[in-house]
Amino acid sequence: MRGYPLAVRDAHTERRVAARIAEGTAATDGDERSSVGPTYPRAMELTEGSIRERAREYAANEPLYDVERQHVATLPETLAGGEYGRRDVQWVVRWYFRRYLGDYPDRERREAEDAFADNDFGEVLDVLGTVASEVTGEEESPVTGEDLDAALATLTDLDGVDVPVATAFLQFLDPERFVAMDPRTWDALAATGALDGPYPESPSPEVYRRFDRACRSVMDRTAVDAWTLYRALWRAAPDALGPTGDREHSS
């Protein structure tokens, strides 16, 4: 399974161009995304106030917020304790794709969801138990790069789980510490200059380590947790448009 289908990338590019035309700043050839990295007309300020404002926008506008909030409150303890059913873990995989509200190609979404559903549930229990022990714990024992690599390797041993989906599991295992990585959160962070380069076609563990370091730097500086930063980045992504194709907010 590819990290991010080209069809979705193209749809997002079209939305960005449409938004800039609506703003009276139509993109030219020199404005298009290049191998060096995306060019953004605006970016969220990485201040505590700006991040919390965007997170509040997310709560007020994103249709999945209420169910996400419930899972953020319950899944960390549930997953770490092993007291959960198959539907609880399937929800995480479905969440990764379905929060795009139809933008993610249906065939690829179903392939990933079906592949994950075919995993032996006992193996899923063992994997999540191992990962929880590797990435959750006392503040005095911070997660190292080796811990993160081991957790991602363990998670991606499951069918239907690549590195981006694995980061969704990390977010719901410890929503105060980890931000799920995807093209929207990556692009929003890159737009601020906190992260370099475009979102890779097939993200590797090293790519997530870079993303995680950038997120931790922002969290340390602004005193926000990962769940707050995730919501802000999702709302601040350059392609976050309203239902008519207009940008819903400006920075």
Least-confidence region, from 23-32, 117-126, 180-189, 235-244: 23-32
| Residue 94: strand, helix, or coil | helix
In a domain, 195, yes or no: yes
- Is there a contact between 207 and 214 (Cβ–Cβ < 8 Å)? no
pLDDT of res. 136: 79
pLDDT of res. 232: 96
- Is there a contact between 230 and 224 (Cβ–Cβ < 8 Å)? no
In the block, residue with structure tokens 């919501």 = 231
Beta-carbon contacts of residue 76 (< 8 Å; ≥ 6 apart): 136, 172, 173, 174, 175
Answer whether residue 173 shows pLDDT above 90: yes
pLDDT of res. 82: 82
Answer whether residue 112 shows pLDDT above 80: yes
| Residue 144: strand, helix, or coil | coil
Residue type for position 121: F
Answer whether residue 38 shows pLDDT above 80: no
pLDDT of res. 9: 45
Answer whether residue 189 shows pLDDT above 60: yes
CA separation for the pair 152, 61 (Å, rounded)? 31
In a domain, 42, yes or no: no
The percent of residues above 90 in pLDDT, for the chain, comes to: 62
pLDDT of res. 144: 85
Beta-carbon contacts of residue 74 (< 8 Å; ≥ 6 apart): none
In a domain, 143, yes or no: yes
Confidence of residue 138 (pLDDT cuts 50, 70, 90): low
Q: In this structure, what token pair is assigned to residue 154?
A: 């363990």
Overall average pLDDT of the 219-223 stretch: 97
Alpha-carbon distances of 142 from 38, 61, 134, 208, 249, rounded to whole Å: 32, 34, 10, 17, 36
CA separation for the pair 29, 48 (Å, rounded)? 35
pLDDT of res. 61: 94
Answer whether residue 174 shows pLDDT above 90: yes
Range of the domain at 157: 6-30+47-236
pLDDT of res. 249: 39
Answer whether residue 17 shows pLDDT above 90: no
In a domain, 218, yes or no: yes
Confidence of residue 135 (pLDDT cuts 50, 70, 90): confident
CA separation for the pair 215, 213 (Å, rounded)? 5
End-to-end CA distance of the chain: 35
Confidence of residue 224 (pLDDT cuts 50, 70, 90): very high
In a domain, 157, yes or no: yes
In a domain, 76, yes or no: yes
pLDDT of res. 139: 56
Answer whether residue 27 shows pLDDT above 50: no
In a domain, 183, yes or no: yes
Centre a 10 Å sphere on the Cβ of residue 140 and count the other Cβ atoms it contains: 5
Beta-carbon contacts of residue 130 (< 8 Å; ≥ 6 apart): 154
Q: In this structure, what token pair is assigned to residue 138?
A: 């006392």
Q: Is the model more confident about 133 or about 92?
A: 92
Average pLDDT over the chain, rounded to an integer: 81
In a domain, 41, yes or no: no
pLDDT of res. 53: 95
Q: Is the model more confident about 178 or about 146?
A: 178
Overall average pLDDT of the 84-110 stretch: 88
Centre a 10 Å sphere on the Cβ of residue 33 and count the other Cβ atoms it contains: 16
What is the tally of structural domains in the chain?
Answer: 1
Alpha-carbon distances of 95 from 27, 30, 49, 71, 227, rounded to whole Å: 33, 36, 28, 11, 15
